[in-house]
Amino acid sequence: MSETFGDRSWTIRPGESKVIELDDVARLKVDLVRGRVDVVGSDDPVTRVEVSNVQGLDVRVSLNEDGRLKIDHPDANKTINVHGMRDGLGLLRGMFGKSDRDALCSADVSIVVPREVKAKINMVRGDTLVSGLTAGAKLDTVSGTVLSDSLVGELKLDTVSGRVEARNHRGAIDVDSVNGEVVLSGEYSKVDLNSVSGATYLDAFGAPSKLALNVVSGNAIVRVDADAHTVYKADAMFGSVSVDGHKFKVPKSGFKYEDGPEDGPCVDIRFNAVSGSLKVVHRAADDEAPVAADDPADVGDPADTDPVVADPAETANLAEAAEGR
């Protein structure tokens, strides 16, 4: 294990582990291939980083003078970035077609940071959990699993085939997906989603100004509040729209429809597809919005939590609500 205190950097080699405490962290950037990353926002000004289960390649932890904390594999072939199908497939070829060492590198990283830290997490195949941050986040994966919980601010999610989920979110959400499943819930202000063929589930509380879904052949299920005045606009070559069990075909001229109380909060739902279906249901009047955790202890210590996995119960409840109408 090597440490360089002048530029505040540490190198953790395969088989080693390290716990680091840092002050004055303003931004966080993580680039890893496999393993697990847990990030929890805290009221404590001190940042705590724990690196373990390092395999294949060294892990470097560095903090520069501007307060950017970076955790990555310094010897990896390329930086991990996911911006759609072309980048995702190219990354898979680059990472897994050239170097067995890079393909097998892995690390588990647990990070507790001040809530106001801005985070950018890039993970190729591993699991990512981010909770309790108030300055938004950008979370990317190729085929891994991403879960954000109780975040505030702008959230950007990119995936090729991995499942991404945002629970109890407050703020805007922007999603790019190839064929990964997308599950979003909370009092978000708006959603912009682009997907090729993945399934989409939106559970919207309050009055988001816009829910814009652009898909090629994917299906979407959306649930909104009982008192929402909902405006629907849909365009699809081969598609359908279902509102509380009432099915409509999408004509060539497009589908436009409104329902809900005139004085209710307005929700604008836009659905564009080549071939796909949109199902919208209004939740029961007595269903309440989820309560975001105010204390980082409420979301658990990242060292004690289980690996991030899909929550089929929440997705099933929303799907059953759509089918039952």
Identify whether the C-beta of residue 101 lies closer than 8 Å to the C-beta of residue 10: no
Q: What span, in angstroms and rounded, lies between the C-alpha atoms of 236 and 276?
A: 7
Strands (E) in 132-219, as ranges, are 137-141, 145-149, 155-159, 164-177, 182-195, 200-204, 210-215
Amino acid (1-letter code) at residue 56:
G
Whole-angstrom distance, CA of residue 90 vs CA of residue 273: 26
What is the model's pLDDT at position 252? 86
Of 10-24, 175-189, 210-224, 307-321, which gets the smallest average pLDDT?
Answer: 307-321
In total, the chain counts a number of residues equal to 325
pLDDT in tens, 48-69: 999 999 999 999 999 999 999 9
Mean pLDDT of 221-230: 96
Q: pLDDT tens digits, residue range 178-213?
A: 999 999 999 999 999 999 999 999 999 999 999 999
Which pLDDT belongs to residue 263?
Answer: 92
98 pLDDT more than 50: no
> In this structure, what CATH number is given to the domain that contains residue 64?
2.160.20.120
Whether 147 contacts 128, CB under 8 Å: yes
Q: Which residues contact 57 (CB under 8 A, 6 or more apart)?
A: 14, 33, 73, 75, 76, 101, 102, 105
Q: How many domains does the chain have?
A: 1
Q: State residue 83's pLDDT score.
A: 52
Q: What percent of the chain has pLDDT over 90?
A: 71
The structure's pTM equals 0.84
> Which structural domain, as residue segments, surrounds residue 110?
2-324
Cα end-to-end span (Å), the chain:
59
pLDDT at 63: 97
Mean pLDDT (the chain, rounded): 85
Report the C-alpha gap between 313 and 60 in whole angstroms. Answer: 38
